[in-house]
């Protein structure tokens, strides 16, 4: 009887054991819901999945301590210890996207979606979480961390394609959603205009891509893909503030005030009735660590996306930048490294820029897709020095792309492009430019494990009164999967770049006592390049990519000092850039610790003189360490580049010696650290980040007479609601 009583009491206790309910949301880092994520409570049969709003609910869980595991295809798995000791427990999760390196999808290499493992050229993809975690404030900061890319002040170069020419005549085509983004007068790229918070990913094609993209892509392509508009309303606010540390030497301290920088961005994204939109405004100022190098910026950005039906969609976006900045050209001397030359002090530049693009997609048949792109770029800058220099440029561009795939062995892509610009300027003259192009590319998959690509592009370019120029740029690419984890790729092709109006027609003093001469005889430069690479991916957590590349340039355009002491853009007869690049991604502790190592050896030389080309380091090395243990993340980046051998010695040495101590240059060793914590507070996803850039406070130059940013600290806060 006593035993029966005990049994009844025990069963009663069991049936009356307290049970709780867990609810919560599972979202991406930008607060977008993750649908269909699985939640299990380890060691039990309890579990659930998220709905279309990312919500989940698990009921009837006995009180106790458990481990919850959340997983979803395309995201890194997360686990968390929880204690159920009350009726309702709310637990939210933030998941990070994960992608196996070779399975990444790119659209830039062939103007249609391809897996990275199917490409015949070197490519690199920067994922949005990386952009966010490293607390980048400007797009060029991000580029400095990409192996094979070098940034000299504002000028970007892939595998040595450019030296330094004040941003004039870019050899890397930067595009937003596939639409080229360079100005109509000097062909420069203004990094401040790029809306960092709306970047979905950045695709980098290393090596000439003229056979698809024409002029400016002779060195490669950087394509910025913006995010899809949010399906549920999301407001995003980011604020940051930071300051520069004291310079290394007391004599460099030119001002006793704390040199600060700050910015605030507010954006809202939503969808209603098949129309999605994103609007954003941003104000960001920087006092700079150097005198007369301040920047005050306002950036406005909008994007509207309409899905007309299952076959048609339209995207319209635009950004406007107002910039008021000092014009620091070169230091006074190495004892006054943060102070400009007396004659340049007080010079300022004000600029207004508006860029807008429209992308219309129409799937005409099951096999035929068409894309129509239209863009307009207005730029105006006024430089205030001894004289006022002004340039106003209007650049129009349109492109139609057709892609046919019958799901057989062939895939065809073709397109037509028309562009033109009108420049009114007292330094580049009043000039007009127009160009047209036709291109075609076919991909063949008829042989097992082999993908062959053949492309051809014809360009016609007419620069004002100068005789029109034609260019034909073919390319052949091969991708062969030797085994399931070893891929061989090879590419041979030609490229070309037409001189920009600024390179041909500039006729002005550029301060510091230097004048620029016109050169209407400047020819287009052409290139012949070869690349071969191997990707070895023995596991999803490790891959190594080795590439050998060589590009021969004819009529390479570089600024040069004339006999009369002026600067003039001239054609170097022949130049050759050869190198090898090794890139290794390693998930040392999957989902916890990731490493990226990259080494690039590059020998860039003027073949006629057998001398190194200016501003190209022979050796570069990058090490990136990312540690994530939700809710914390920590990233450390180290980059090294060897001392550049050749610089503008004409400007640094007697007799001109316009840049005193300008010969001073050193190898570059830079460490950046960024740490952050993600959390959800009252259903608001938030992130706090702290970063230290140039941790060692190492003093180096990217361009002669321009000390790179000294150590600086940034604290930022982001919320999504």
Partner 1 sequence: MKKVLLIILFSVLLLLKCNGGIEPEPVKPEGPTGFKGKITFTGTWPEGVKRTHLVVFKKPIEKTDDFFPPNLSFVSDSIPYGSSVFNYSSIENNFLPIFQLGEGTYSYVVVAQSKTETISFERKDWYVVGVYCNNNNQSSPKELILCAGEITEGVNINVDFNNPPPQPPN
The one-character DSSP state at 523 is P
- Interaction of residue 538 with partner 1, rule CB under 8 A: no
Contact (Cβ atoms closer than 8 angstroms) between residue 129 and residue 142:
no
Interface pick for partner 1 out of 274, 468, 513, 538 (rule CB under 8 A): 513
Residues 595 to 614 in contact with partner 1, rule: CB under 8 A: 595, 597
Q: Which is nearer to partner 1, 6 or 657 (CB)?
A: 657
* Site stretch for partner 1 (CB under 8 A), options 123-131, 307-315, 321-329, 656-664: 656-664
3-state secondary structure of 191: helix
3-state secondary structure of 198: helix
Residues 214 to 253 in contact with partner 1, rule: CB under 8 A: 248-249, 251-252
Distance CA 410, CA 403 (A): 11
**CA distances, 87 to each of 23, 58, 93, 379 (Å):** 11, 12, 20, 61
Q: Which is nearer to partner 1, 369 or 652 (CB)?
A: 652
**CA distances, 160 to each of 229, 484, 490, 580 (Å):** 36, 33, 20, 12
Residue written as token pair 């993908």:
451
3-state secondary structure of 142: helix
Closest separation between CB of residue 570 and partner 1, Å? 13
Q: Which is nearer to partner 1, 35 or 546 (CB)?
A: 546
Q: How far apart are the first and last CA of the chain?
A: 62
| Cis-peptide, bond into residue 646, ω within 30° of zero | no
The alpha carbon dihedral of 151, 155, 156, 158 has a sign of: negative
Residues 295 to 354 in contact with partner 1, rule: CB under 8 A: 333-335, 337
Report the relative pairing of strands 78-84 and 450-463 from DSSP bridges.
unpaired
Q: Which is nearer to partner 1, 322 or 640 (CB)?
A: 640
Q: Which is nearer to partner 1, 11 or 696 (CB)?
A: 696
- Interaction of residue 669 with partner 1, rule CB under 8 A: yes
Interface pick for partner 1 out of 100, 671, 686, 690 (rule CB under 8 A): 671
- Interaction of residue 625 with partner 1, rule CB under 8 A: yes
Q: Which is nearer to partner 1, 271 or 694 (CB)?
A: 694
3-state secondary structure of 632: strand
Contact (Cβ atoms closer than 8 angstroms) between residue 50 and residue 708:
no
Total interface residues for partner 1 by CB under 8 A: 43
Interface pick for partner 1 out of 701, 703, 712, 720 (rule CB under 8 A): 701
Residues 90 to 129 in contact with partner 1, rule: CB under 8 A: none
Closest separation between CB of residue 152 and partner 1, Å? 16
Interface pick for partner 1 out of 664, 689, 693, 711 (rule CB under 8 A): 664
Closest separation between CB of residue 638 and partner 1, Å? 6
Distance CA 702, CA 721 (A): 40
What element of type H or E holds 421?
strand 410-425
Q: Which of 231, 229, 400 is nearest to 317 (CA)?
A: 229
Residues 553 to 572 in contact with partner 1, rule: CB under 8 A: 561, 563-565
Q: Which is nearer to partner 1, 190 or 707 (CB)?
A: 707
- Interaction of residue 640 with partner 1, rule CB under 8 A: yes
Closest separation between CB of residue 259 and partner 1, Å? 19
Q: Hey, what are 623's tokens?
A: 């090490």
Q: Hey, what are 118's tokens?
A: 């199917």
Q: Which is nearer to partner 1, 478 or 561 (CB)?
A: 561
Contact (Cβ atoms closer than 8 angstroms) between residue 90 and residue 80:
no
- Interaction of residue 153 with partner 1, rule CB under 8 A: no
Q: Which of 567, 524, 566, 555 is nearest to 433 (CA)?
A: 524
Q: Which of 649, 648, 645 is nearest to 617 (CA)?
A: 645
Closest separation between CB of residue 136 and partner 1, Å? 21
Phi and psi of 28, rounded to 5°? -80, 175
- Interaction of residue 700 with partner 1, rule CB under 8 A: yes
- Interaction of residue 650 with partner 1, rule CB under 8 A: yes
What residue ranges bind partner 1 (CB under 8 A)?
248-249, 251-252, 333-335, 337, 513, 561, 563-565, 588-589, 593, 595, 597, 623, 625, 638, 640, 649-650, 653-657, 661, 664-667, 669, 671, 696-701, 707
């Amino acid at each position: 009887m006593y035993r029966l009583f005990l049994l009844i009491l025990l069963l009663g206790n069991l049936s009356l054991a307290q049970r709780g309910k867990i609810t919560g949301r599972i979202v991406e880092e930008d607060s977008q819901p993750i649908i269909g994520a699985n939640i299990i409570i380890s060691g039990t049969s309890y579990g659930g999945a998220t709905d279309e709003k990312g919500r989940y609910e698990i009921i009837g869980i006995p009180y106790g301590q458990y481990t919850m595991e959340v997983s979803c295809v395309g995201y890194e798995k997360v686990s968390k210890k929880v204690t159920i000791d009350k009726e309702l427990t709310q637990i939210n999760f933030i998941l990070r996207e994960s992608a196996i390196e070779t399975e990444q999808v790119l659209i830039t290499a062939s103007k249609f979606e391809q897996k990275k493992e199917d490409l015949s050229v070197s490519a690199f993809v920067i994922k949005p979480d990386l952009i966010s975690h490293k607390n980048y404030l400007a797009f060029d900061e991000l580029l400095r961390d990409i192996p094979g890319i070098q940034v000299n002040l504002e000028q970007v170069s892939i595998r040595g394609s450019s030296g330094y020419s004040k941003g004039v005549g870019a050899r890397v085509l930067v595009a937003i959603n596939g639409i080229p983004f360079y100005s109509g007068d000097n062909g420069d790229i203004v990094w401040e205009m790029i809306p960092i918070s709306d970047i979905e990913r950045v695709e980098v094609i290393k090596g000439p891509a003229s056979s698809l993209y024409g002029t400016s892509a002779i060195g490669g392509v950087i394509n910025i893909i913006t995010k899809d508009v949010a399906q549920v309303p999301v407001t995003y606010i980011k604020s940051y503030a930071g300051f520069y540390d004291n310079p290394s030497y007391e004599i460099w301290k030119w001002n006793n005030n704390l040199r600060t920088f700050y910015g605030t961005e507010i954006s809202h994204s939503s969808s209603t009735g098949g129309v999605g939109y994103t609007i954003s405004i941003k104000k960001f100022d920087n006092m700079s660590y150097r005198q007369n190098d301040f920047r005050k910026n306002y950036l406005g950005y909008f994007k509207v996306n309409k899905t007309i039906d299952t076959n048609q969609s339209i995207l319209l976006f635009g950004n406007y930048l107002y910039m008021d900045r000092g014009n620091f050209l070169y230091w006074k001397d190495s004892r006054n490294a943060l102070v400009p030359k007396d004659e340049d002090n007080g010079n300022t530049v004000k600029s207004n820029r508006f860029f807008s693009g429209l992308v219309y997609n129409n799937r005409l048949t099951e096999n035929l897709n068409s894309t129509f792109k239209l863009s307009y770029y207005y730029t105006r800058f006024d430089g205030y020095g001894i004289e006022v220099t002004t340039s106003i440029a209007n650049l129009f561009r349109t492109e139609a792309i057709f892609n046919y795939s019958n799901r057989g062995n062939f895939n065809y892509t073709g397109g037509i492009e028309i562009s033109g610009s009108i420049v009114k300027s007292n330094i580049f003259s009043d000039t007009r430019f127009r160009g047209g192009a036709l291109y075609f590319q076919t991909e063949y998959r008829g042989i097992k494990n082999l993908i062959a690509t053949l492309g051809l592009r014809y360009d016609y370019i007419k620069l004002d009164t100068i005789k029109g120029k034609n260019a034909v740029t073919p390319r052949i690419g091969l991708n062969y999967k030797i085994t399931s984890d070893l891929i061989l790729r090879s590419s041979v092709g030609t490229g070309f770049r037409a001189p920009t109006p600024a390179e041909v027609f500039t006729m002005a003093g550029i301060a510091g006592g230097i004048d620029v001469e016109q050169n209407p005889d400047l020819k287009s430069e052409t290139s012949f390049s070869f690349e071969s690479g191997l990707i070895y991916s023995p596991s999803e957590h490790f891959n190594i990519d080795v590439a050998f590349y060589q590009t021969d340039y004819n009529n390479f355009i570089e600024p040069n000092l004339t006999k009369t002491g002026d600067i003039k853009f001239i054609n170097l007869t022949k130049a050759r850039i050869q190198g090898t690049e090794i890139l290794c991604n390693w998930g040392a502790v999957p989902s916890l610790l990731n490493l990226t190592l990259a080494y690039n050896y590059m020998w860039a030389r003027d073949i006629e003189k057998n001398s190194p080309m200016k501003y190209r380091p022979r050796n570069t090395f990058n090490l990136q360490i990312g540690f994530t243990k939700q809710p914390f993340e920590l990233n450390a980046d180290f980059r090294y580049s060897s001392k550049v051998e050749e610089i503008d010695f004409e400007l640094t040495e007697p007799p001109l010696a316009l840049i005193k101590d300008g010969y001073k240059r050193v190898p570059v060793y830079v460490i950046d650290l960024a740490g952050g914590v993600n959390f959800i507070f009252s259903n608001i996803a938030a992130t706090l980040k702290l970063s230290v850039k140039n941790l060692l406070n190492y003093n180096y130059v990217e361009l002669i007479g321009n000390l790179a940013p000294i150590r600086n600290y940034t604290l930022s806060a982001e919320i999504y609601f």
